[in-house]
Structure 1
Amino acid sequence: MVEILRMRNPVQHYAWGSREVLARLQGRPVPSPEPEAELWVGGHPSAPSVLERDGREEPLEGLPFLLKILAIDAPLSIQVHPSPEQAEAGFEREQRAGIPLDDPRRNYKDRSAKPETVVALTGVDLLTGVQPAERLRATAGRLRLDWLREVAGGQGPVLPAVLGMDDDDARAAVAATVAAARGADPEDPVAGLVRYVHERHPEDRGLLVAVCMQHVRLTPGQSLHTPAGQLHAYLSGTAIEVMSSSDNVLRAGLTGKHVDVAELLGVLAEEQAEPEVVEPAADELGRRVYPLWDERLSLTAYELVPGRAVPVELRGTTVLLCAGERAVVRGADREWELGGGESLLHRGGAAAVELTGDARLFAVSCP
């Protein structure tokens, strides 16, 4: 049996979201009444997509991935996700401790890891991993930051030293860093990062962690994968994100949510991976295939242009998401028109379709 169903997808309202990006994409009035951070396409229990079947609506269940459009207008929390083994152990530990799943102190909401891959739709700025000690020492000298010189010159890892500062020392370090950034060369990249973060998260000690991290800018079409144990934060831009359907997040700052430094350091990978930006070449039909963390999953981006039809064979379970003005999915006996942010779910045997329109269309498939 083959079925292709329309989906209705929820928008998540977080403080760091844009009041323009998703509203404009979906043809709604701009600005939106409140920040709109993420469009969720999937079956996550807290906000599942709804399937439209024969005039009825039903929540989507059982999808092993979550596809999102991120509309980032302010820095997200600096965070790290656990490995499958850490997630399982942490979930069971908090269950035995009797911490309710909706308790703000809860670190592990499920038993799953949360690997994620992001593809830039616009320029996207993000932080990932930790800079080499020599670069941190150079920044400390250039901006005259004694706290950074001390942690970068020590024998131990940088992040535990920064996160382990007592409150008074951290407050003093934040104040000194902001003052240094305000008096620095306007073109200094670290000073610019400090000013941007401080404006949106004043006096947050996560600023010190951000200074130590690697700053990466993705151009449209470029991708970056974040493995378990990797410290990261998105700063600005619009992107597609594919992730495991999990809620397990350990936070290090730039947030009003629960921060558990001891648990974060236990999950943090000892070696923080160097950022590896991926930019697959497009074929003659405008297709780009992006690697994901699981070889059973696939992510394909289609750059649709007027007058060019792209044949596609849908297999297994596939979500098609339109990230542009208009896309048409034409099957043997039916066609579906998709506007920005609209999607289809295919399930069952193989189905040959043809894609046309003027949009970027993303397809995520699993067996």
Structure 2
Amino acid sequence: MRRAHPTLALLGAVLLGPATLGLSGCGLKPASAFLPAIEPGTIKPIKNLEGARLRVTSKEFTEQIVLGKLAVLALTAAGAKVQDNTNVQGSVTARLSITGGDNDLMWEYTGTGWITYLGRTEPIVDPQRQFDAVAALDLKKHHIAWLPPPAPLNNTYTIAVSPATQRKYGLTDLSQLSSVPVGQRTICTEPEFFSRNDGLRGMLAAYGLKYGSGVPAKNVMQMSAGVVYNSVKNGKCTFGQVTATDGRIQALDLKVLKDDKHFFPNYNPAITVRESVLKAHPELTPIFAKISPKLTTEVMRTLNSKVDVDGDDPVFVARDWMRAQGFIK
């Protein structure tokens, strides 16, 4: 299932874009507000948070729900009275619930903030500079604070191949797309990626290939996101459009090609919170500064896989990871 955050579309288009894809496409049941019993670990109760009411939201796809549960658990351990409002359909809906005051905080992606909410058309290649830019502008324009540091995980579009394909053609980078014979340049993609500016045609152009000739139209197969992964694994297509942190990459042992020309924007998540809430609770920054650096792409793939592949509940996946890191007990 494609995420709502990597988008170059206009704000309103997000509501009709990949964010509107239901959880059934990922095999995920709707998240509940159930919270298992926990005890503080390295995240200790904070006096200013004792009894404070904070409302946490998230978008509706697996990764966002897991991230939302991490925030709920962390704030609970710190002593807050947390209202779990995770699993909201669509980026715009979730964002408006923050700016409009219905929720207090959520994890958001730098690419989404920069391009979708702030209307910038050119992403910044360096992840830290992208974070700094979106944080400064969003605070100025919308009074939304981004808590540093951003997580190193990057949930963006990418292209994957099977291990057999990688061995056959010696593929490691997207620049090597042209080294594969034209007849074998078959690509499985979901319709959203096929039609987007930051999708198939743009990617091909960035890497010196033209849709229709460098990659013949008949070589491109559109299908649902969930089908793409197995189609790559089973050799139905040489290349498959996937999402970098999807757990099925790991589960199916797919090999992700490096975007060596930096075509795809960075989508590093960080906690976003209204400026007024942060002023009342500046301790939010150090709490999440403990968590964010631990969330790498590989870690997130594993957590997503536990939900999408193993069928575990997001809140237990989040709890177990938080315990393993010592944040809670």
Query: What's the TM-score, normalizing by structure 1?
Result: 0.29
TM-score scaled by length of structure 2: 0.31
- From the two aligned structures, give the one with the greater strand fraction: 1
Q: Which has the higher helix share?
A: 2
Q: Which has the higher contact order (CA 8 A, sep 6+)?
A: 2
